[in-house]
Structure 1
Amino acid sequence: MTAISERVSDPTEQQASKRVSQSVFDGSRLRVVLLVDVYDGAQQQFLEAYEEMGKQVASVPGHVSDQLCQSIENPSQWLITSEWESAPPFLAWVNSEEHVRMVEPMHSCIRDTRSLRFHIVRETGGEEARSASGERRLQSSPRIGDGVIRHALTFTVKPGSERKVAELLANYKSPEARVDDTTRLCRTSLFMHGNRVVRAIEVRGDLLAALRHVARQPEIRAVEEAINPYLEQQRDFHDQESVRVFFTRAALPAVHHVTGGQDIEQAQRHALYYPARTGMGMRLAELLARQDERAADDPRSPVLQSTVYERDDVVVRLIDVRGGLDADPAAALGLPDAAQVAELTTLLDEGAAKKDGNLSRLLTLARMDLITDRRSAPEA
């Protein structure tokens, strides 16, 4: 069995696969850039909130350093940069309840923010920088993307309301695909597993602009209002802080995407839900990502494209397959042999992890119900 703590490969030997467009599992250092627009007159309040947050962040595992910068041209514009040992510890922190509470004091003085995350590929500078580069991992080769940003949202609804929520989410009118001259909605896939809803979106251009565009559309606002009474986590559309906290907790980032380079136009889209044991979500996502990357090199694999999403103990794998899921349960689950099945069951929560290794049973437990899958029409 492969040790779960093992990296995908040693960065000095790793060659970026042309079939992989996104991954947080390269093992290289991460640079996070946060652009902040502060309300006029709130600069001192923002600085004090940052200093308090900085004391707490310093003890977070994987955190290396951070800087706070203020624009020399517009004092309302600030820049926070931080460095992390790798992407997984940063994502574990930024998606945690601890982080939600930690940044709360900042929100009253911030007009707008934009977060960007980058693996460090090359580094230049003096002798000190070169020495640090030898000790700290850099991404060995650039990845080849397809220009599409993948993101998902997940939330739960009150038990007993699943059928009504599914009906509401299946019948809304699609929003306008074109956001602006550079951003366009490509595809929205919505699934349910019990009372958990997962909405996966694909965007070409600016993800934040697309999310704001969707939120402003009357047809989307109407369906969001309609499902509001059924949500387990309450939100008040008249309270911007309530809405912000809801969508912060609902964010389900894509941590790995791979495509086999084959035609996927006629492929069937499915989603599988893997509830992880407490604290094991990222390791479970890494296991699935590792296997999907290997499967992408096999032209016989029925899985033509895979995206793994993870937040805390929620792991969702969105796959485009030829044929049905049941034809090859092992490939559908992303588990090519018994060793991987055994490894998976050590990471699943007790309700899903039965040690009998029955792939058909695991597939039945993981399978999500498709509610709607919509693609935007190609641009003229």
Structure 2
Amino acid sequence: MTVSPVVATDAVSADALSMDATAASPAATADVGGVSISAFDGARVRVVLMLDVHDGMQQEFLNAYEHIRDRVAAVPGHVSDQLCQSLENPTQWLLTSEWESAAPFLAWVNSEEHLDTVEPLQDCVRDTRSLRYSVLRETVGDQAPSAAAGAALRSAPRIGSNVVRHALTFTVRPGSEDEVARLLSTYESPEARVDDSTRLLRTSLFLHGNRVVRAVEVRGDLQAALRHVARQPGVRAVEQALDPHLEQDRDLRDPQSARRFFTRAAMPAVHHVTSADGAGDTDGADVTGAQTRRIALLYPVRPGAGPELARLLARQDASAAHAPDNPVRAATVFHRDDLVVRLVDVDGDPEEAPAFVLGLHGCADASSGGSTAAGPAGVAVAERLLDTAAAGVDGLLTEDRTLSLLLARARMTPLTDRRSSP
């Protein structure tokens, strides 16, 4: 179970921005050292939610929890949860839940059903902090068998830097794209330093049609960074100026409205991989050289195919992490429902290696004669998941010409790409 935080009315919904937004989803394949974030290995997931209940409302909170616990238990992929109260401070509570894997948890926590289910708890809670972990080891006593005994555990830890990645996406009213692009291209950058342990590393904004994607990279505590950003006067002014142009109405002064908006907007990072050349990733945002550019791709997805496409792209990126001819230095897959966005740092001109940049290189076979285009087996999978016709792309994905056209149609328009100074 996960509770959305209460939104401070004077912080431009900073808590809603940070709601369950820790991008470090579990888990990764042990044999690919470049993978630092992945939700696709099937390992069990432990979610830890720390709650601060309003003074004197402990019984009301417990009553609300009792009312919704069976509904949460029926969610596919949910294994168990425990509600605990602090021994020292009666307002401090801890809610831990276990899930079969990351995928069902992420689908649940970013859903309208989740918002509706946990709504009765909101009036009781002053603040929350949500953390997600994949289970690597488990020691169980003879008298306390695990409820998930025999379930998958990850065999090795993921290796990476202290960087968290997350994205938000929303649509604007048709006809307002130029004004929205102007607003998002000219806002004042917030102070990068949050505190001694947290720093905003990079913010990248893109537009495709009327859809906006905002990707952030933070060293340290993502929630603290988002709260910090939301308090900045320049950011608050831009958010207010955006309100009339949004397709989904919101009122950032209303906690419930803000929670719903930012829950619908959240796109977790479900996979991140760095190539052999960029494997250090020590700074998080700076794995690239002078010739490297950042692009974002919004994939045309067939209805219901979003989860499988995100998995496919994750496998492709992991398999190419050490390919000597791969110009992609880092790639992050963001996913929710049928929205799949891939953020790519690529050396040189993306048009020179469209299959690698699109994440379709791993489908090549011997009959392609060394071409970067996808082979027949890969085409069958990609065409089942991608709605190329809706994107105005015809031809076979075995052809480089078709891949180049798909790359051009999926590529988002960059609005802002700002890195903090060292």
Shift of residue 299 of structure 1? 2.2
Task: List gaps (5 residues or longer) in structure 1.
Answer: 1-10
Asked if residue 342 in structure 1 is aligned to residue 374 in structure 2, the reply is: no
2:417 aligns with 373
Shift of residue 130 of structure 1? 7.3
Shift of residue 134 of structure 1? 6.0
Shift of the 47–368 alpha-carbon distance from structure 1 to 2, 3 Å rule, reads same
Letter of the structure 1 residue corresponding to residue 233 of structure 2: P
Shift of residue 297 of structure 1? 1.5
TM superposition score normalised by structure 2: 0.83
Shift of residue 323 of structure 1? 1.3
Classify the secondary structure of the residue corresponding to 2:351: coil
Asked if residue 127 in structure 1 is aligned to residue 171 in structure 2, the reply is: no
Asked if residue 113 in structure 1 is aligned to residue 137 in structure 2, the reply is: no
1:278 aligns with 303
Letter of the structure 2 residue corresponding to residue 325 of structure 1: P
Shift of residue 354 of structure 1? 5.6
Asked if residue 158 in structure 1 is aligned to residue 173 in structure 2, the reply is: yes
Find the aligned partners of 1:291 and 1:304 in 2 and give their Cα distance.
14
2:57 aligns with 42
Q: CA RMSD in A?
A: 1.9
Contact map agreement 2:140 2:146 (CA 8 A) in 1: no
2:162 aligns with 147
Contact map agreement 2:111 2:263 (CA 8 A) in 1: no
Matches within 5 A, 1:44-193: 44-127=59-142, 135-193=150-208
Asked if residue 361 in structure 1 is aligned to residue 405 in structure 2, the reply is: yes
Letter of the structure 2 residue corresponding to residue 104 of structure 1: E
Shift of residue 53 of structure 1? 2.0
Shift of the 14–370 alpha-carbon distance from structure 1 to 2, 3 Å rule, reads closer
Find the aligned partners of 1:371 and 1:14 in 2 and give their Cα distance.
34
1:297 aligns with 322
Structure 1 residues 70-94: Cα deviation after superposition (integer angstroms, max 9, x where no partner): 1111111111111111110111111
Find the aligned partners of 1:15 and 1:371 in 2 and give their Cα distance.
36
Asked if residue 311 in structure 1 is aligned to residue 311 in structure 2, the reply is: no
Contact map agreement 1:65 1:82 (CA 8 A) in 2: yes
Contact map agreement 2:29 2:35 (CA 8 A) in 1: no
Find the aligned partners of 2:300 and 2:157 in 1 and give their Cα distance.
32
Asked if residue 328 in structure 1 is aligned to residue 353 in structure 2, the reply is: yes
Shift of the 241–287 alpha-carbon distance from structure 1 to 2, 3 Å rule, reads same
Moved more, 363-372 or 286-295: 363-372
Shift of residue 276 of structure 1? 2.8
Find the aligned partners of 1:48 and 1:82 in 2 and give their Cα distance.
18
Find the aligned partners of 1:141 and 1:129 in 2 and give their Cα distance.
25
2:284 aligns with none
Shift of residue 261 of structure 1? 3.3
- Total equivalences in the alignment: 367
Identity of aligned residues (%): 62
Task: List gaps (5 residues or longer) in structure 2.
Answer: 1-26, 279-287, 362-373
Letter of the structure 1 residue corresponding to residue 378 of structure 2: Q
1:265 aligns with 289
Contact map agreement 1:16 1:142 (CA 8 A) in 2: no
Structure 1 residues 173-228: Cα deviation after superposition (integer angstroms, max 9, x where no partner): 10000001110000001001110000000000100000000000001011111111
TM superposition score normalised by structure 1: 0.92
Letter of the structure 1 residue corresponding to residue 186 of structure 2: N
Letter of the structure 1 residue corresponding to residue 222 of structure 2: L
Shift of the 49–16 alpha-carbon distance from structure 1 to 2, 3 Å rule, reads farther
1:351 aligns with 390
Classify the secondary structure of the residue corresponding to 1:127: coil
Shift of residue 129 of structure 1? 6.2
Shift of the 40–304 alpha-carbon distance from structure 1 to 2, 3 Å rule, reads same
Classify the secondary structure of the residue corresponding to 2:234: helix
Find the aligned partners of 2:249 and 2:116 in 1 and give their Cα distance.
17
Letter of the structure 2 residue corresponding to residue 154 of structure 1: T
Classify the secondary structure of the residue corresponding to 1:174: coil
Contact map agreement 1:92 1:312 (CA 8 A) in 2: yes
Contact map agreement 2:190 2:234 (CA 8 A) in 1: yes
Contact map agreement 1:268 1:323 (CA 8 A) in 2: yes
Contact map agreement 1:260 1:299 (CA 8 A) in 2: no
